[in-house]
Structure formats: structure tokens, C-alpha cells
Structure 1
Amino acid sequence: MRESTSTAAPATASGGLADSLYDTAERTPGLVQLARRAAGSEQWREVTAAGFRDEVLALAKGLLTRGVRYGDRVALMSRTRYEWTLFDYALWSIGAISVPVYPTSAAEQVRWILAETQAVACVVEDEDHAMTVGAVCDALPDLNGIWQLDQDCVRAITEDGRGVPDSLVHRQRLGVTPDTVATVIYTSGTTGRPKGCLLSHGNLAVEADTLLDGWHEVFQDSGSEPPSTLLFLPMAHVYGRVAQIAAVRGGIRLGHLAEISTDSLLPALAAYRPSVLIAVPYLLEKIYQQARRAAEEAGRAELFEQAARVAVEWAAAREQKALGHGPGPGPRLRLRHAAYDRTVYQRLRAVLGGRVRNLMSGGSTLGRDLGLFFAGAGMTLYEGYGLTETSAAVTANPPGRAKFGTVGLPLPGAAVSIADDGEVWVRGPMVFGGYLNHPRCTAEALYDGWLATGDLGHLDEDGYLSIVGRKKDLIVTSSGKNLAPSSLEERVQAHPLVSQCLVVGDDRPYVAALITLDGPALAHWLKTHGREQLDEWGVLADEELHAEIQRAVAAANTAVSRAESIRAFRLLPREFTLELGLMTPSLKLRRAAITERYAEDIEELYSP
């Protein structure tokens, strides 16, 4: 086994996650801790550390009145919004445990999670969520309340707690230790029933503090204005939760956005103007494609393409210099880069609010060229890697030494090892304690402090980790050829018309693919080709469109052997979506669900 080990992790204070909130309010009561906006409003209202503490304390007292006790589990089923953070910290203030539930969950999924965790209450966002929980509450004898955010449950619970002394909350809070379970986060469930990961206050605190300490300049590099971030990732996912905790612990102004589409995200970013953006590759790809499409519609397509190439070349030269392998950008490249900064890169930064200089990406792997592009456009991208079981990141690219196309080095205090079969094993203080009610699964995942991740990867000569795919996703053709599909899919998706690509071929004679198209990009392509909008049948039958996608597939195939190349593909009229159950809430494809739904299309790919 090959191993990469980092330095010791920073010391984490004793106690629980809520302590930092009260400490900050005591030291700097006027610090702007959060920002929130009313529904339908574009105006952000600042919330100081003292103001947020008072809201959390009042809600915590109300929760005690409602019967929530130390160690009880309370479910949160909502999109990303201010009240989620409020409930998290109120629950942690009394030693209770939050259980995130994705708002898109089906009734059976909700029943399973609430029953297994024995949740005593469930906070829901709206009437639809309340009805989903209500449909299964007869099977939940421990559930004593369903509290609805859009019915102002926060105010009602707070009113209930008016007579409770503050000291009662603080006695509960002081009983929390780093080993106390803070939350039960369920895995995405790309295959099989999801399992609840027991993450402690210490797991999440050391994760947040490690990032704040080692990546201080990334979070704080914001010029004269205070650092800030806009959180739009799902709060039911560990990545979003750690971003929340790091912001609160690090004094980074935190805003929330419920919608994750680029149509809602970009206007919100322009209004909020964050200094650091925490995202997933899927959204970064969408932002890039939208920028390219806007340039094409403005008649600046060639200018954008030239600027993109210069950005990649400039960032690659800077990367090589930082790693000690080159002199950096030459005079001619520096001049061209400066010229495009005025005409192209500044426009892209303005779309993201104008202040973003650093991006953090996780959840799935990001293409090297896309990372270089953003860095070349003035927004250095730091890609990391982790799982729910590792409290989010266990590796990340370090400031000043990012190696694009990799997921970086082990975080301080962590270690990464590659098993003989290529599986990535990790260990460190951010690794979870086990799965709720599943001792056998816990024993299968944890070996003497090491977590077997199920991901395949390799370490380079400098100890940087690259992920090549999931063990369970490995395709073995009928001829015995092994293929990790993710890198091939990423290359196909680099084409502006392609939205998603799923490679198939397990126990088949050759590799094939299901491909979906980006709607706005397709509409623009048709317009520039003097064509009318195509209906679903037209998308499937259009020969010129197929020829364009064939070129994208052929370009992707140049990076692999013939045995690994895509020999056939099928265009699909609709994207794989979260609503159809074909993506996880963290926007990764559910391979099993897709292959089941499109079984007939896949069979046709292999028909004589």
C-alpha cells in the first residue's frame, strides 16, 4: 500500500459546536455573523453575533418546553435557509441531535429515517413536507410533533420558552463533549438503502477548524470588506453542514439560498457579493457553459474561446512554478492574460458578485482544465475530497500549491493509503464513529482506524490524490476489460451541448453511453444553425445533431484505448434530474436508477 500523511491537526477546543456561537457573541457582539432575507425580497438583513445568539437561546428554551431533551433526535426537512442554521445551533445548545432529511425524499424514505433515528419531532418547510411526514406518522410512535417553518413555527416555539431560565439551556450545553453525537447524516444512497452516519461534535469541529486554520487566506482574502459566503448547497448533505459550521466558527458572514439552479443562483450572487464560493463541479460546469453561451449570443464567441485558452495556459504555468517545475508565465502570456482580464475575466467575476477570488469544490471530481480556467480568470479553485463518513473533506489542495486535476493532499492530522486493488483508505480525527444501528456495516467500513472509502484512486510522487471512480461503478466488459467510467464521462461532458453522460458496458461486448443535452445550449445551437426548436423526437432523430455529439465522443475517445472507447451512444430528450430520482441531492448520477429507467434504450445500443 502507498500512503500519504499530513501534519498534526490543530487542537480543537473542548465542548460542543454551539459553544463557539456563545463565545463569539461574548467577545464581539456586534460582529455580523449571518445575513438573511425575507421571501421574495432582494434585500439582505444583517444578523450580529449577539442577535443570533439571542435567537438561538430563545429557540432552545422553547424546544425544552416542547419536550426535547438531551440526546433526543429531531429531524430537519427543508431546503437551505436561515432557520436550518438556527435550529441546528438551538438543538446543539441543549445537547440534542439533528437529523437532516432531504426535502425531495419520498414518504418511505422519510419513514425509514425517522423510525431508525427515533426522532421525537420533525421540522418541515411547507405543507407538502408536512403531508409527506403525516402520511407515515402512524408508523412513528416516537414522533410527537411536526413543526412547519412557513407557518412560523420558530416564533411559536420561541414564545413557549419565554419563562425558561437561560441557565437551564447552559447546563445542557455544558454537558456536551467532543465525543457527543451532533448529527446523524444519511448517505446519498446511490445504491441501496442509505445508512445514518454518526458524526460527533469533535468530528465536525476538527474538520471546520482544520480548514479555517490551513486555508485561512482562502476564506479571509476579501479586501477591505469582511469575508462572506452564500450557502446554496443542500443542508442535508455533509458538505453544506460543514460550510455552515466553518462560517459560524470563523466569523465568515453566512447567507442562505434555497434554490440551486443557475437561474436563481447568479442573481443572488450578484446581490450578496460573497468573497468565497463553496460549490460542486456540476454547478461550476453550468456557470462556465452559461458564460460561454452568453459570449456567443453577444457575438464574442471567438474572443471567449481565446480568453479561455489563455486562462488555462496562464494558470498551468503558475501551477508549475508553485510546484517548482517551471519559471511561470512568460512576458507574452502575461500581456495576453492582462488584456483578457479587462475584456473577459472581469465580466465573469462580476457575474459571481465581483468579490470572489477563491472557490472550493467538492462532492465529485472536477476536470483539470475547468479548474485551470477559473484560476486563470482570477478565482483560484481548491478541489477537495471526502465522504459523509469523513465529515466532508479529508484531502484538499493547499493554498499556493494547488495541483489541478487532483483532490490534493491529506488534511492536517489525516492520512491516505491506496490498497492493492486501488481502493482509497483514509484515517484521521474527522472520520466518523460508525453507522447507526448497523454494527456489521461499521465493521466492514472501519479497519483499525482506517476507513475503506469504496473509491478508486492513486497518489502521485508528491502525495497528491486523484480519484478515478467508485469500486462499485467499475465496468467490466464481456472481454474482461476494466474501466472506471467517470473520467470518460467528464471528457464527453466538456462539449458545450452535453449536459450529462452515463457510460455503460458491464458484461457487454463494448462500451456505450447515454447522453443528455443542455437545453439552453441546444436552443442556441439550433438558432445559430438556422433551425427551429426540436421536439423530443427531433432530438433523437436529427442527423446533424448526432454528428456534433459524435465529434464530442470521438474527442473523448482519444484519451483511452479502443477497448475502453465509446462505440455507440444514445441521445435522451430529457436530463437526469433530482425530481426523477436519477440524481442524488449532491447532484451525482444514480447509476442503478438510470440504467433501470433506460433499460430499453441500453438494450437498443447493443442490438444487431
Structure 2
Amino acid sequence: MREYASPALTDVPPRGTLTDDVVRNAAEHPDTVAFSRRAGDRWVDVTAAEFLAQVTAVAKGLVASGVDPGDRVGLLSRTRYEWTLLDYAIWFAGAVSVPVYETSSADQVARILTHSGARAVVVENAAHAARVRVGGGRRQVWVLDDGAVEALTAAGETVGDDEIDVRRERMSGDSLATIIYTSGTTGAPKGCMLTHGNFLHELGAAVEELDELFAGEDASTLLFLPLAHVFARAIQVGAVRRRVRLGYSPDIRTLSADLASFRPTFLLAVPRVFEKIFNAASQKAAGDGHGKMFDKAADTAIAWSRALEDGRPGRFLRARHGLADRLVYAQLRAALGGRCRYAVSGGAPLGERLGHFYRGIGVTVLEGYGLTETTAAVTVNTPDALKIGTVGRPLGGTTVRVAEDGELQVRGGQVMAGYWADEAATAEALDGGVWLRTGDLGEIDDEGFVRITGRKKEILVTAGGKNVAPAGLEDHIRAHPLVSQCLVVGDGRPFVAALVTLDPDALAPWAEAHRKHGGPADLADDADLRAEIQSAVDDANRSVSQAESIRRFVVVPGDWTEEAGQLTPSLKLRRAVVMSELRREVDALYE
């Protein structure tokens, strides 16, 4: 059994909670801009002192409305300033926040609110409120777009500061901070109980090791991932702790404009976002007649990044890189606001090619690994310790090991307290109550860098007895600009095959350039398009043995989406759902 431990870098006070950061910031740096919120076409700043005042006022409103210490309060909204405001107000009131993805159906909302026993819920708009009410249950509902913050502030005018102080003082690191429900890729979502201490252990290590991102008076980040996801939530509390200016972009349609005006110094995103940025730039260049120039610039960026690992790039490569920087890379960095030097990626494997590409253009993507059960990251690449293709080393105070069956297991202060109201699932997940069984397969090299090789439950065993991890093959194929999603199949079958969907945004300019007509359904069997997909399959096959290689594939008309139920809110593939819906297509691959 291979094991690697990183020493703890900071001590976590047993009585500390996440509310302490807000109070300390207001006392020591009252005029520092903590947040920027959209108001029409401009950003309105919120100082540390103003934030404390607003959080306290809303917390009083929750108290006046009957929210008691330990009560669960739901949060259903897009990523916006009020989400953070309510999150901290719930903690100041001694209560527990229960985030719900704003894309959740009425049935999903009802299940989470009912299972968690939420006494109240704050939603963004009337449509969200309607979903809550469809699920039934007698709980208070406040609507942000209808003045929830103002109503709570008014309701709390009769509550004294001492009541909030008492509630804060009664909490400790062991107090429950939030219940975050997993995305449910392999079954019903489970409620991960994360304490204030879990977050403080995570922050104590992460912000220290990623100091280059969080340090500096001008440090800032723009949140656009759902705050219902633990990844964005960890960045939120990390930004508050280190006084990093935090902005919000709730609508993907305005993200480009928000990036240009906010100009963050670092970003966080899932791999699909980085793929989309690359593919959009590639297709735009091709549509403008500069496709070959972009391809050469991309190859140069990758070569430059690889050369950094081997030593100083040679003179010829430096000349090529300098030219590409002026013609291509500068425009890509400008699209991210012009000041972004680092990005943090999590949720799924990024892939070596994209990792090298972004470092080559001057935006280093630091890939990490973690789960909801681990309060976000347990391993991460850092500016000082970076190995592209891995998910980095364990954070300080964290130990990882690879069990005899190849499963990655984790021990550390950020591991959850358990699953809410589910002792059986908790016992299954926590080996001896200490080691978390992640369900992921991994490797640890001699320097402690971790590589994720697949999901334990997703290993395919072909009819010939060959074990195949589909994740790596799928990642290679998804890297092709025309591909949106990929599902590798072959369990109990004579060979490995794949289902592929097309990216409509990338397909349109490709079709125009190749004088094709129609959408994904019309071009699914087009010979030229299949040749493009075959090139991606060939690239994937070069990374595995012949027995593991993909022999056949089918292009599926239409894409897989969260709305249709094939993807989770964090954009993970629900394999069982896709297999059930496309069983005929899978059978046809083997006829």
C-alpha cells in the first residue's frame, strides 16, 4: 500500500468558526474592498465593514423569523453577492446552510429540503419559489428578487447585537456549517456534513500553499461556477479569509464582458470551461482564415511549456513563442481580463495537452483533486510544485494512500463528519471512521504527486477479461474541438467502443468551412466529420494498449445536458442514465 503525507502548515483553533474572518476583517481592515457586485453596467464595491454590518443585520432577521441554532436553511440561487451574504448570515445566526443548485427540478428541491429538514429557504426568484412550493412542506420562503435582504433586515431591527454574539460564541470547529448534497452520479444524492473545522483545515492549508494567488492588495477573482458546488464555496471562504476582492458573474452570457471589466488576477473553473475557451478560439481563428496560424501557435505554447520542464527553451523556440505571444496569446489573455496569471481547475481531469497549452500562453492552470466529502481539495499543484498531468501533492496535514485494489483513500481534517441521516452510507465511506474511500483509482509517484486513473465503479471488464478505465480515453476524445461529450463502453463486450456527441458551437463554423449543411443530427454520419472524430479516437488509443483501444464509435445526434438529466449540475456524466437511454445504440455497435 503506497502512502504519502504532507505535514500540517498551520494550527486550527478548536473554537474557531468561519464567522471569525468577517469580524476580524471589519476590525483590522474596515475600508478594504471585499466584494464587487454588479449594478447595471458597473461594479459597486462592498467594504469589509459594510459586509459585517449587512451580515449581522440579515442574521438578526433570521433570528427574529424563528431560525434557531442548528436549524437548516436552504439556499437556491445563481452565483451572486447575496448568496455569500446569506451564507455568512446563516452562520452568524448559528444555523446550517443547505445549498441547492438553481437548475434543480421541483422533485430534487423537495428531496433535499425535506431530507435535510430545512426550516426555511432563500431563493433567487419567483420561479425558484414555485419549485419550492410544489414540493410542499411548511417552511418560510424569502425571494431575493422580491427584497428578501431588505425584509430580513427590517425584521431583525428588534434583535440585539448580543444575541448574535452569543450564537457565534456557542459554536466551535465541530459545529455543523453546511450540508452539501452530492451530485448523485451513481445513486441518490447524499448530504455531506461539513463542519466549520473542516473548512478551517481546508483553508489553513490551501490558502497557504496557493499564497501566490491570494497574496497582494490587488488580488481578485470572479466567481461564475455555482456556489452550491463545494469547489466555488471553498474559494468563497478562502477569499474572505485572505481579503481577496470577490466578484460574481451569474449569467454565462455576460461572462466575457464581466471578465473584461472586472479583470481578475486568478480564476477557478472546471475542465469543460478551459476546453470551451480553447475550442472557441480555435474555431474563430479558422473562421477568420487564421486556422493554421492558431494551430502553430498552440503547438508552440505546448512545446514551450514542455521545455520549461526540461530546462530553458532554446533560442529558436523562444523566437517562435515571442511571435505567437504578440499575434495570439495576448488576445487570449485579454479575453480573461488581461491580468489573470493563474487558474485553478477541479471536478474532472484537465488533460496534459490543455495544461501545457495554458501554461504556454501565460496562464498557468493549477489542477487539483477533491470531493464534496473532503471540503474541496485534498491535493493540488502549486506555483512552486507543479507537475502537469497530475492533480498535485496532498495539502498540508493531509495523507493519501492507494489501497490494494487501487482505490485512493484520504485522511485529514477536511474529511466530512459523515452523511446526514445516513449511518450506513457513512460507515461504508469512512474506513474506521478515519480514512475516506474516495471511489477513485489513483497512483502516487515518488515525489508525492497524485494521478487519478479512473473511477472504481466505472472500470469496464471486457469479455476477454481486460480491465479498462474509461476516463482517460474519454478525456482524450473530449479534447477534440468538435466533441462535446464521450462515453466509453465495453463492459462484458468483446471490445471497447464509444458514444460521442458533438459541440453545436464548434460544429457550425466547421460545417461552413467544409461546405456542409445541417446540425449534429444531419452530420452524424458524414464521412468527413467521422474522419475528424476518428482522429480523436486514434489519439486516445495511442495512450493505451491494443486490448484497451476503442474499435468502433457512433456519433449520437443531440448533446447530453443537465436539463435532460444526463449530466449532473457539476457537469459530470450520469453513465447509468446515458446507458439506459442509448442501449440500442450500444447494442448496434456490437452487431
TM-score (norm 2): 0.97
Distance 1:42 1:570 in 2: 45
Aligned to 2:56: 57
> How far apart, CA to CA, are the structure 2 residues paired with 1:193 and 1:63?
30
Residue 257 of structure 1 corresponds to 249
Say which SS state the counterpart of residue 161 (structure 1) adopts: helix
1:203 corresponding residue in structure 2: 198
Asked whether the equivalents of residues 508 and 519 of structure 2 are also in contact (C-alpha less than 8 Å), the reply is no
Is the CA contact 1:578–1:584 (under 8 Å) kept in the aligned structure 2? yes
Q: What pairs up with 1:120-139 in 2 under 5 angstroms? A: 120-137=119-136
> Which of residues 497, 503, 507 is equivalent to 1:518?
503
Task: Give how far 1:136 is off.
Answer: 1.6
Q: Which residue of 2 aligns with 1:290?
A: 280
Matches within 5 A, 1:56-205: 56-137=55-136, 140=137, 143-205=138-200
Question: Residue 87 of structure 1 aligns to which amino acid in structure 2?
Answer: L
Contact 1:124 1:148 in 2 (8 A): yes
Matching residue of 2:322: 338
> For the structure 1 residues 410 and 371, does the alpha-carbon distance in structure 2 shift closer, same or farther, using more than 3 Å as the test?
same
Report whether the alignment pairs 1:388 with 2:372.
yes
Name structure 1 gaps, 5 residues minimum: 321-325
> What's the secondary structure of 1:306's corresponding residue?
helix
Tell me what 2:440 maps to. Answer: 455
Q: Does 1:317 align with 2:307?
A: yes
In 2, distance between residues paired with 1:382 and 1:551? 28
> Counterpart of 2:569 in 1: which secondary structure?
coil
Aligned to 1:469: 454
Listed one character per residue, the Cα deviations across residues 84-133 of structure 1 (whole Å, up to 9, x for unaligned) are: 10111001112100001112222222222112211100111122211111
Once the two structures are superposed, what CA deviation does each residue of 1:270-323 show, in whole Å capped at 9, x if it has no partner?
1211110111101011011111112222222222111111111111222x2xxx
Equivalence for 1:597? 581
Task: Measure the CA separation in 1 of the matches of 2:207 and 2:522.
Answer: 51
Deviation sequence 1:405-457 (CA, Å, 0-9, x none): 00010000001100111100111111111111111111111123111100001
Within 5 A, what are the aligned runs for 1:570-589? 570-589=554-573
Q: Which amino acid aligns with 1:20?
A: D
d(CA) in 2 for partners of 1:368, 1:544: 27
Where 1:527 maps in the other structure, the secondary structure is helix
1:273 is matched with 263
Distance in 2 between residues matched to 1:130 and 1:537, nearest whole Å: 37
CA separation of 1:32/1:314 partners in 2, compared to 1, >3 Å: closer, same or farther? same
Aligned to 2:516: 531
Q: Secondary structure at the match of 2:187?
A: coil
Match in the other structure for 2:486: 501
Residue 536 of structure 1 deviates from its aligned partner by 4.9
Amino acid at match of 2:316: R
1:592 deviation in Å? Answer: 0.9
Superposition deviation, residue 160 in structure 1? 0.7
**Deviation readout 1:554-590 (Å, 9 max, x if unpaired):** 2322222222111221112221111111111111111
1:490 counterpart (470, 475, 485): 475
Q: Is the 8 A contact 2:507 2:520 kept in 1?
A: no
- Mark the CA change 1:543 to 1:332 in structure 2 (over 3 Å): closer, same or farther: closer
**Counterpart residue number, 1:556:** 540
Alignment of 1:536-547 (within 5 A): 536-547=520-531
Question: Could you tell me which amino acid in structure 2 is paired with residue 23 of structure 1?
Answer: R
Deviations 1:330-352 (A, max 9, x none): 22222222222122111100000
Contact 1:469 1:485 in 2 (8 A): yes
> What are the superposed Cα offsets for residues 576-607 of structure 1, whole Å, 9 maximum, x if unpaired?
11111111111111111111122222222222
Amino acid at match of 2:6: S
Structure 2: how far apart are the matches of 1:387 and 1:453? 8
Cα deviation, residue 514, structure 1 = 1.0
Q: Which amino acid aligns with 2:508?
A: A
- d(CA) in 2 for partners of 1:247, 1:373: 27
1:323 aligns to what? none
2-side partners of 1:561 and 1:439: how far apart?
42
Q: Name the amino acid aligned to 2:441.
A: L
User: What is aligned with 2:297?
Assistant: 307
Structure 2 distance, partners of 1:120, 1:100, is 13
**Paired AA for residue 455 in structure 2:** R
Q: Deviation at 1:191?
A: 1.4
Change (3 A) 1:327 1:554: closer
Retained in 1: the 8 A contact 2:213–2:219?
no
Please tell me the root mean square deviation across aligned C-alpha atoms, in Å.
Answer: 1.4
Q: Which residue of 1 aligns with 2:6?
A: 6
> Match of 1:44?
43
Report if aligned partners of 2:22, 2:48 keep a CA contact under 8 Å in 1.
yes
The one-letter code matched in structure 2 to 1:403 is K
Match of 2:34 in 1: 33
Change (3 A) 1:217 1:98: same
Tell me, yes or no, if the aligned pair for 2:283 and 2:510 is still in contact at 8 Å.
no
Structure 2 segments unaligned to the other structure (5+ residues):
none
> Residue 248 of structure 1 corresponds to which residue in structure 2?
240
Amino acid corresponding to residue 414 of structure 1 in structure 2: T
Cα 1:274–1:71 shift into 2, 3 Å: same
Give TM-score, length-normalised by structure 1: 0.95
Q: Are 2:204 and 1:232 aligned?
A: no
Report the Cα distance in structure 1 between the residues aligned to 2:516 and 2:374, rounded to whole angstroms.
50
Q: What is the CA-CA distance between 1:537 and the residue it aligns to?
A: 4.0
Q: Report the secondary structure of 2:158's partner residue.
A: coil
What per-residue deviation string (whole Å, max 9, x for no partner) do you get for residues 224-246 of structure 1?
A: x6111011111111111111100
The whole-number CA distance in structure 1 between the counterparts of 2:499 and 2:508 is 20
1:535 Cα deviation after fit: 4.0
Aligned residues: 589
**% identical aligned pairs:** 49
Conserved 8 A contact 1:207-1:393: yes
CA contact under 8 A between 1:179 and 1:201: conserved in structure 2? Answer: yes
Query: Residue 541 of structure 1 aligns to a residue in which SS?
Result: coil
